[in-house]
Structures are given as C-alpha cells and as structure tokens.
Structure 1
Amino acid sequence: MTKQIKLSVLDQSPIRKGVTPEQAVQETISLAKHTDQLGYHRYWVAEHHNTGLLAGSTPEVLIAHLAGQTQNLRFGSGGIMMPNHSTLKVAENFRMLEALFPGRIDLGMGRAPGTDRLTASVLNPSNQFSEQDFIEQLHDLINYFHDRGVPGTPQSKVRAIPQVSTVPAMWLLSSSGQSGLFAAHFGMAFSYAHFINPYGGAQSVQMYRQRFKPSEDLAQPQVNVALFVFCSEDEEKLKQHRAVMEHRFLQFEKGAPVFPIGYEDVKDIEYTQAELDRIAYNSKRVITGTPDQIKAKLTTLADEYDVDELMIVTITEEFEDRLRSYELLAEVFGMKA
C-alpha cells in the first residue's frame, strides 16, 4: 500500500523582480492563508540577513502573525539560526508562541548563520562558529523548555518566561549528516535540506534513524525533506523556471552579487562547459513537472528517503504561478481542504 505523503511549505519570503520587500511579506501572508485552505500540514518561514533576494529575517515575528491569520497549519521556523541568538531568548520567543498557539508551533534550528560571516559577526559579536557552542545551545534549550535552567551553573535559577505546559516541536535542519547525528542524540526531529544538497541525504536520514535516542519530547524519529518544486500545466513556464533557477545557483556559487532576476535576464546567456557541469550537478535540487509528472517524481523521492512528509519551496517569477503550483500539488496528492 502506498503511504500517504503529507505536503508542507518552506517559505523564504522571496523578493521577486520589480517587487518591494513589503510586497514580498504580503505574499507570504497570502500564501499561508492559501495553503491553510488547501490542507497543507505545516508552514515554516526562514531566517536570512543582508540580502536583497529574501525578506524573511525574523521567523518568530512572522510565525506569530501567520498563525493568527490561519486555522489549521502548524507554524515554525525553517529555521532559527542558533549561533545568531541567545539561547534563553529563543526559548522565550517560542514559549510565547506556544502560549499563543499551543500545539501548533515548531522550532526548527540550524547551525549556519543564514548570511555572510561579516553580518553574522554583527548579529552576534561573540559567535565563534563553534560546533561545541551549538551543542551546548541545544542542551541548554531543552533545559529551559523544561524549567531546569542550566543545571550545575549559576544559570540554574533562570527560567524561560512564560512558563507554559507545552513544548514546541524541536527540529534540526541540515544539508549534511552532522546535524542529523545531533538530532538523533538529543531526540529531536530532523529536516534534510535536499534543496541545498541533493546528494547523500537518504544516507543522512538513515543514519539519523539508526542512532535516534528517544527523548522526553519525542519517542520515535521524525523526518521531513525540503526541496525546490514547481508544478505547472504550461511546459514553457516549466522550462523558463528551470533556466532562472540554474542561473541563480551559479551566481550563489560564484559569490557574485545576487538580485532578483527573470527569464528575460538569462535566456540568452551562453554558459561555459564548467558552468554547464555545475548546472547538471545542481539539477537534482529542483523538481519540476506537469500535474501528470510531478506526483511520480515526488513519490519516488519520498521513497528514496523513506519519508512521508515533503516540504515544498517554490519561488516563481509571477506570484500567481506560485499559488497555482501549490494548488496543483494539493490536487494531485488528494489533500483535503
């Protein structure tokens, strides 16, 4: 029997060409309401800094607004970049969200800064980009959520306010296996970023499951996979979408200035052989197709990872195409509004 695949949303609040950041945030609100009505499972918003491409810098603020505008979706961070933040403040932000929306909040966390090193050093001047610091943050966070402060330290008397009876679901986000091992050790859920690194993810998920230790918050391993997806009934739109995404990936890899682009900006570019090789390498980060094609592609990927939840990241040149893509996915997967 084929397992039922849940679909969720990862929204980075992309700033389209010719659109202001204010409009990008309004599009996030519209998309959240739209996917709530379509029957999507959860909706995560991202943390990025010092970029003209993405407007989402404060997930905790967006989550509070979006959850209040919707009925059914779980809301969370995809993710909070822990090295940028005080652990206590993260605990308090998400305890407040739990107080407002009990049972609907996910705290997704990452090790990366979500920006360049200079900006990261401004966000948190004491940031050492240390793996050990990250591990200690996770340990302290769990203790704050369970009103234990930080045992064995002067901070043992510190409590995360408000003290509420529920704990947000804790997820670690990663595009490699390392954070999967941390998630397994701490008994947290694991989200693999296929849209960043489409190679080795199934092995990372398998290792997480094998090494998972049940915790007071999660008894069984829980996994989802995030990937770029675009579904359209128009083959020409699918071709143009891939062309734009291919160019965007190259610009990121080169460290070149990045700004919103459209198909007209890239359609006549002739790539070198080295660039074509990178385009081929990155091609697995994006899955596109018509409604007839997309279900088989996504089901195959879910089977490869052995997961029953996919987090869909969709960035399009026209907002209406983005809304329609999520509609088509809901239809082909038989989601109930």
Structure 2
Amino acid sequence: MPASPALRLSVLDQSPVRPGATARQALLETTELARLADRLGYTRFWVSEHHNTTSLAGPAPEVLLAHLGAHTRHIRLGSGGVMLPHYSALKVAENFKLLEALHPGRIDLGLGRAPGADRLTAYALNPNNQFNEQDFIEQLLDLQAYLRDDTTPETIHERVQAIPKITTQPHLWLLSSSGQSGQFAAQLGMGFSFAQFIGPHGGPAAVQRYRAQFRPSPELAYPQANVALFVLCADTEEKANALVKALFIQLLRFDQGRRGPYPTASETAAYVFSPEEQARLRYHQGRVVSGTPGQVREQLTQLAAAYDIDEVTAVSITADFNDRLRSYELLAEAFELVPTTQKVAEEALV
C-alpha cells in the first residue's frame, strides 16, 4: 500500500523519565528527539504540561520550548498544551509572544483546560480556579485580545498590552479528549487537536462538529484539525508487541492510581495480564497504534481518513530511548517524509 503523500506527521513529547534515568536525562532526550524530528521532516514538535509526578519531567512548556528553539531550525514548536486555567491570560500571551519573537513563524500555542495533575495540585497552582466553563471562555477571549494587541475602549486591553510588540503571532490550538473544547475552537477560529491518546472515543465526530461550526478568525480562515495518539513502530512484530505491552502495563497502572516508573523490558516480559486487565485493555487499545512500519502506515492512513484530516501527531514512550528514536525514524520512512536538508536544497533551486 503506497504511503499517503498528503499526510503530515508531528510529535507530542511528554519528557518521560525512563527506568533508572533522571529528569535531566529525560529533558536532554526530549532535546535530542526534537532535533531528530526537525531533520526527518516532521511538521511540529509539541511538549506537554504535567505536575506532581516523577514519571514525566515537563511542568513548564514555555521554558522547554525556548530551549528547543535554540536546538532546532525548521520544525514548528508548541505546547500540547498549556493548561490555561492555572494561569493569567496576560502572562501566557507574553510567554508565547516572546517565544514567537525569538523563533518567528515557528510557534504554536496549544491550550487545554484539564488540570494536568490532581485537584490538590491544581489548587496549589491557582487557588481561584473554579473549573468554570465561562471563566475558560473569557480567558480565551482575553488571550486572543492580548496576542492581537487589541485596544478596545473601556476594557482592560485599552490600557494593558502584552509585550514584546511583534509582527507575527503564535498559532492558537485548543486540545480536547472529549470534544467540548472543539466547539470553543470553532467559535473562536482556532485550530483543534483531538487527544485520542487520552480519550479513544468520539474523535471523528468531534472534529466533524468543529468543522461544521467553524467561524473564521483574523488568524485562521479555515478549520485546521489533527489527532494525537500513542504510536509505537518497530522493525519486527515481536519488538512492536513488546513495546506496546509495556505501554499497556503503564496505562493499567495509571488506572489504579499508580504513578511509578515505566516498566522495564524484563518486567514486561514476565507480566501476565489478569482477566480483568484484559477486559480493560480493549479500551486502551483505542488509544494506541503499533506494529511494523507497513502496519502502522496502514492504520494511521485509515485513521486519518476516518477523521478526514491531513495530520497525525505521534506520542511515543518506551523504556529504552533508542527504541523511541527508532520508532520515529521508522514512522518517517513509512510515510516518506522529506528530510529538512532535502527541503532546503529544493527551495534553493526554485
């Protein structure tokens, strides 16, 4: 089956802390992965926001993105996403305007409303957060106004402006695993990313509703959507099965409220799923695509067709960092991504 030339691939990285590794190593691995994705021709590289966990090392996307910008040249960089209810809209606008000033034309501001942690941690981040839908919408409107340098009379924007003053803007995306934020994205003219790696059901319908309800904004004339899910690609079926088994073990642990280290290869090989766990795995299987390059290519092509989208974002976690790198290399080969060096050479000839 030929690869689809129209399908773009992107990366969402959560800076996982591997067994026996440190948080610093996890962040250095995220940097190495971003450089690889940049060379291989991936469209964008997003990093996530999590708090109060030892298994992931990324609580502040805006800080990590500044670092990644200095180590990449072409790939779009963004948050997947900033949990807006934790913060001031002005501060988020200034963080990402500064990133856009440093790396113009390369910054995505992906936003979510989930806590990204437990409720106690969310309270510690913002004691005034009521998880109110209307509050979130007002924050989104304020954020757009700050990014646009709006000066509407008789509003705070008449007197308070987000700096630095720049001529470009980060691209705005709303992230959702249920579809609710897709309606907000449609009404406000933002991009929409469905997190199937979190919620495996309802994605195509949510994207369809987003398109049907989309209202153009000054920044986005047409709806733009993608889907993110766990993707594990390996040279052999045996290897792919081992990688996905480890991921399933970790997801089952999360179901039980356990946030320990990722299972090692030996733990994975020895693990036997109980009948109850096997039943639960039917749910988790909807969050993951795995296999050899040909198998993964076929599954992702079918998924993109079901969503009617042209971009898929891969989330990969493995106990061995080399397996993570190899997964993204094989995925790029399967879809015949054009390496950055080749793109630059072709553009120079035009």
Q: State the number of aligned residues.
A: 337
For 2:168 and 2:245, the matched residues in 1 are separated by 45
CA separation of 1:271/1:293 partners in 2, compared to 1, >3 Å: closer, same or farther? closer
Query: By how many angstroms is 1:52 displaced?
Result: 0.9
Q: Per the alignment, in what secondary structure is the counterpart of residue 295 of structure 1?
A: helix
1:164 maps to what in 2? Answer: 166
For 1:324 and 1:178, the matched residues in 2 are separated by 35
For 1:32 and 1:270, the matched residues in 2 are separated by 35
1:208 maps to what in 2? Answer: 210
1:309 maps to what in 2? Answer: 311
Query: By how many angstroms is 1:256 displaced?
Result: 2.8
Query: By how many angstroms is 1:151 displaced?
Result: 5.4
Query: By how many angstroms is 1:119 displaced?
Result: 0.7
CA separation of 1:271/1:3 partners in 2, compared to 1, >3 Å: closer, same or farther? same
CA contact (8 A) 1:52 1:260 kept: no
Query: By how many angstroms is 1:75 displaced?
Result: 0.3
Q: 278-287 or 147-156: which moved more? A: 147-156
Q: How does 1:23-102 map to 2 (within 5 A)?
A: 23-102=25-104
Q: How does 1:272-287 map to 2 (within 5 A)?
A: 272-287=274-289
Query: By how many angstroms is 1:260 displaced?
Result: 2.6
CA separation of 1:269/1:164 partners in 2, compared to 1, >3 Å: closer, same or farther? same
TM-score (normalised: structure 2):
0.93
For 1:158 and 1:80, the matched residues in 2 are separated by 22
1:105 maps to what in 2? Answer: 107
Alignment counterpart, residue 192 of structure 1, candidates 194, 203, 225: 194
Alignment counterpart, residue 245 of structure 1, candidates 240, 247, 265: 247
1:290 maps to what in 2? Answer: 292
Q: How does 1:13-28 map to 2 (within 5 A)?
A: 13-28=15-30
CA contact (8 A) 1:140 1:150 kept: no
CA separation of 1:276/1:151 partners in 2, compared to 1, >3 Å: closer, same or farther? farther
Paired AA for residue 327 in structure 2: S
CA separation of 1:155/1:273 partners in 2, compared to 1, >3 Å: closer, same or farther? same
CA contact (8 A) 2:242 2:268 kept: no
CA separation of 1:3/1:30 partners in 2, compared to 1, >3 Å: closer, same or farther? closer
Paired AA for residue 296 in structure 1: E
1:217 maps to what in 2? Answer: 219
Alignment counterpart, residue 124 of structure 1, candidates 105, 112, 126: 126
For 1:332 and 1:224, the matched residues in 2 are separated by 19
CA contact (8 A) 2:107 2:170 kept: yes
Paired AA for residue 49 in structure 2: E
Query: By how many angstroms is 1:162 displaced?
Result: 0.6
Q: Per-residue displacement from partner, 1:173-213 (whole Å, max 9, x unpaired)?
A: 00011000000000000000011111110000000000000
Paired AA for residue 255 in structure 1: G
User: Which sections of structure 2, spanning at least 5 residues, go unmatched?
Assistant: 340-350
Paired AA for residue 221 in structure 1: P
CA contact (8 A) 2:47 2:78 kept: yes
CA contact (8 A) 2:111 2:175 kept: yes
Alignment counterpart, residue 140 of structure 1, candidates 135, 142, 156: 142
2:342 maps to what in 1? Answer: none
Identity %: 54
Q: Per the alignment, in what secondary structure is the counterpart of residue 284 of structure 1?
A: helix
Q: Per the alignment, in what secondary structure is the counterpart of residue 221 of structure 2?
A: coil
CA separation of 1:88/1:150 partners in 2, compared to 1, >3 Å: closer, same or farther? farther
2:182 maps to what in 1? Answer: 180
Paired AA for residue 180 in structure 1: G
Paired AA for residue 229 in structure 1: V
CA separation of 1:28/1:239 partners in 2, compared to 1, >3 Å: closer, same or farther? same
Query: By how many angstroms is 1:232 displaced?
Result: 0.6
Paired AA for residue 64 in structure 1: A
Paired AA for residue 58 in structure 1: A
User: Which sections of structure 1, spanning at least 5 residues, go unmatched?
Assistant: none
CA separation of 1:37/1:153 partners in 2, compared to 1, >3 Å: closer, same or farther? same
Q: Per the alignment, in what secondary structure is the counterpart of residue 30 of structure 2?
A: helix
Query: By how many angstroms is 1:236 displaced?
Result: 2.4
Q: Per the alignment, in what secondary structure is the counterpart of residue 79 of structure 1?
A: strand
Paired AA for residue 5 in structure 1: L
Query: By how many angstroms is 1:143 displaced?
Result: 0.6
For 2:47 and 2:156, the matched residues in 1 are separated by 34
For 2:156 and 2:318, the matched residues in 1 are separated by 50
1:334 maps to what in 2? Answer: 336
2:348 maps to what in 1? Answer: none
TM-score (normalised: structure 1):
0.96
Paired AA for residue 186 in structure 1: L
Q: Per the alignment, in what secondary structure is the counterpart of residue 29 of structure 2?
A: helix
Query: By how many angstroms is 1:153 displaced?
Result: 3.1
Query: By how many angstroms is 1:65 displaced?
Result: 1.1
Paired AA for residue 86 in structure 1: S
Query: By how many angstroms is 1:155 displaced?
Result: 5.0
For 1:180 and 1:305, the matched residues in 2 are separated by 14
For 2:294 and 2:273, the matched residues in 1 are separated by 31
